[in-house]
């Protein structure tokens, strides 16, 4: 069972990278421990781009989109897909988080949930997954179904298709838990896709 450490609620609820960095700096003054430093490292792995030091990226947000698309690329070779997913998890700092034990895994899980929170905010935009070649926006029911489909594909779908259930366990749990939190019908919608793809 994952839980947010006391005092870190604001850090994980905030979705703007710059604001999160400032919150981390303030909290790090009070808690100069291994897990606090890990949180800073996870932020850097997620947002800093060595090729553009002045700009901020969001690798986890990008992977939310990329993994949903990866699931749909049926002709991709299993080994190639596995390598792409594992490289993404490595770039996030998963190994370092696991090495810190339960507290590190907890921090990593909530970093992913923060990315999911940011991703799901973008899904509220009327432009999300426009239908009919972009001419019409999907209705509310269609939008919720599409969100559930994307969440399932980027988590259980990819993990199951490419045999990475264990490696993607934090990613899958965090993304789905956030979806269920922000979408009252999320659990039911995910179950529908799970049942539809069960062997």
**For the chain, how many structural domains are there in total?**
1
Q: Is residue 137 part of a domain?
A: yes
Helix axes 186-196, 169-182, angle to 10 degrees: 130
* No. of helices (H) and no. of strands (E), the chain: 11, 0
Classify residue 118: in a domain, yes or no: yes
With respect to residue 1, please indicate whether it lies within any of the assigned structural domains: no
Kindly state whether residue 2 falls inside one of the protein's structural domains. Answer: no
Phi, psi of 7 (to 5 degrees): 95, -15
CA torsion through residues 21, 26, 29, 30, sign: negative
Question: What is the per-residue pLDDT across 38-90, written as a single tens digit (0 to 9) for each?
Answer: 999 999 999 998 787 778 999 999 999 999 988 877 666 878 889 999 999 99
> What phi and psi values does residue 48 have, to the nearest 5 degrees?
-85, 135
Query: Where in the sequence is the domain holding 39, given as residue range(s)?
Result: 9-196
pLDDT tens-digit readout, 81-119: 899 999 999 999 999 999 999 999 999 999 999 999 999
């Amino acid at each position: 069972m994952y839980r947010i450490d006391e005092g870190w609620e604001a850090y994980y609820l905030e979705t703007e990278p710059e604001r999160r960095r400032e919150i981390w700096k303030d909290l790090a003054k009070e808690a100069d421990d291994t897990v606090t430093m890990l949180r800073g490292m996870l932020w850097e792995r997620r947002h800093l781009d060595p090729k553009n030091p002045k700009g901020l990226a969001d690798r986890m947000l990008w992977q939310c989109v990329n993994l949903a698309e990866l699931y749909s690329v049926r002709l991709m070779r299993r080994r190639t897909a596995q390598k792409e997913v594992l490289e993404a998890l490595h770039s996030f700092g998963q190994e370092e988080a696991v090495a810190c034990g339960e507290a590190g895994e907890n921090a990593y899980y909530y970093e992913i949930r923060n990315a999911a929170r940011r991703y799901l905010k973008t899904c509220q935009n009327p432009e999300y997954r426009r239908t009919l070649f972009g001419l019409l926006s999907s209705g509310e029911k269609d939008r919720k179904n599409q969100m559930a489909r994307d969440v399932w594909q980027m988590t259980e779908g990819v993990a199951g298709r490419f045999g990475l259930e264990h490696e993607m366990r934090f990613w899958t749990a965090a993304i789905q838990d956030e979806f269920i939190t922000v979408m009252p019908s999320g659990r039911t919608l995910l179950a529908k896709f799970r049942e539809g793809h069960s062997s």
